[in-house]
Amino acid sequence: MLIQNSTKQKLHRGEAVYGCFFRQAEPTLAEFVAMQGWDFLIFDGEHGSLEARDIEGLVRASELHGVTPIARVPSNQAHVILRFLDAGAHGIHVPWVNTATGAEQAVVAAKYGPRGQRGLAGSRQGGWGVTESLAEFTARSNRETMVIIHIETAEAAAAVEEYTAIDDVDVLFIGPTDLSHSLGHPGNPGHPEVRKVMEQVAEVVTASDKTLGIFAGSPAFAAEWLDRGARYFTAGFEGLVKQGINTYLTAVRG
């Protein structure tokens, strides 16, 4: 299949997009989740046990339903990013990027030349050289592959203006939980200090050509941050399942 990133296209049109973190190595379950209407799914290699070898089946499951497959890599290392993208992901979430140099490093790892230094070979993302030539594929991949950089530490928040100057970073993504931990208020993203930093990050990103992203576990939180200019929203599979189960059991048990 030719890589065609519908989520990136929607962002370019100014639309908001919604996705879900998923960390089970179960393509059938991933397909069911994809059928619910998400714009994208993020297959989680950081806070889950997913390896690059698990990604191919999960990618196929999401592509069947026009849902963009994205991978959260476990670390900002070129060989790790290469393997997750070669398995078919249309983009990468890169955690624990604390400097502009680190953000540039992620872009270079994700892009082919002349922008980057990603190693080139026949892979699933390029149809193994069957569906188009490698020259055509490298141009397409550079155009379609998304790079989402996490802002989840005090250091990253302080450097966010530098991040906005880096070409080919698509989304600057606030991770409220990790940011709260970094700021000394673990698990309390509503703390005034954490809120202040998040709002400062939002002001910088929304004034740039980058998309502001954020983890939003509830519709109310997503609506608030949509008003603040965010357009890339994620939730977590387990959290949504928990909400659904709790709602059901509370209702049936009175």
- For the chain, how many residues are written? 254
Return the CATH architecture of domain 6-252: Alpha-Beta Barrel (3.20)
| C-alpha Rg value of the chain to the nearest Å | 18
Average pLDDT over residues 175-195: 95
Q: Which two three-digit tokens encode residue 14?
A: 């100014």
- Find the helix or strand (DSSP H, E) in which 33 lies: helix 27-34
Task: Please report where in the chains the tokens 């189960």 appear, as a residue.
Answer: 245
**What pLDDT is recorded for position 124?**
83
Average pLDDT over residues 223-235: 98
Residue ranges covered by each domain of the chain = 6-252
Average pLDDT over residues 99-128: 93
Which residues, in sequence order, are CB contacts of 20 under 8 Å at separation 6+? 33, 38, 41, 42, 234, 235, 236, 237, 240
The share of the chain scoring above pLDDT 70, in percent, equals 100
**What pLDDT is recorded for position 221?**
96
**Minimal CA–CA distance to 6: which of 68, 89, 72, 56?**
68
Q: Which two three-digit tokens encode residue 103?
A: 């953000």
> What SS3 state is found at 76?
coil
Q: 41-63 pLDDT, tens per residue?
A: 999 999 988 999 999 999 999 99
Q: Does the annotation count 47 as an active-site position? A: yes
**What pLDDT is recorded for position 94?**
98
Angle between helices 52-63 and 27-34 (to 10 degrees): 40
| Average pLDDT score, the chain | 95
Residue 2: pLDDT band (50, 70, 90) is confident
The whole-angstrom separation of Cα 29 and Cα 32 is 5
Contact yes or no for 84/73 (Cβ under 8 A) = yes
Q: Which two three-digit tokens encode residue 145?
A: 């592959």
Q: 6-31 pLDDT, tens per residue?
A: 999 999 999 999 999 999 999 999 99
The whole-angstrom separation of Cα 244 and Cα 250 is 10
Output DSSP code: residue 172: E
Burial class (CB in 10 A: 0-12, 13-18, 19+), 241: exposed
* Catalytic residue from among 12, 47, 79, 150: 47
pLDDT at 182 over 70: yes
pLDDT at 181 over 80: yes
pLDDT at 89 over 90: yes
pLDDT at 123 over 90: no
pLDDT at 132 over 90: no
Max Cα separation, the chain? 62
Residue 1: pLDDT band (50, 70, 90) is low
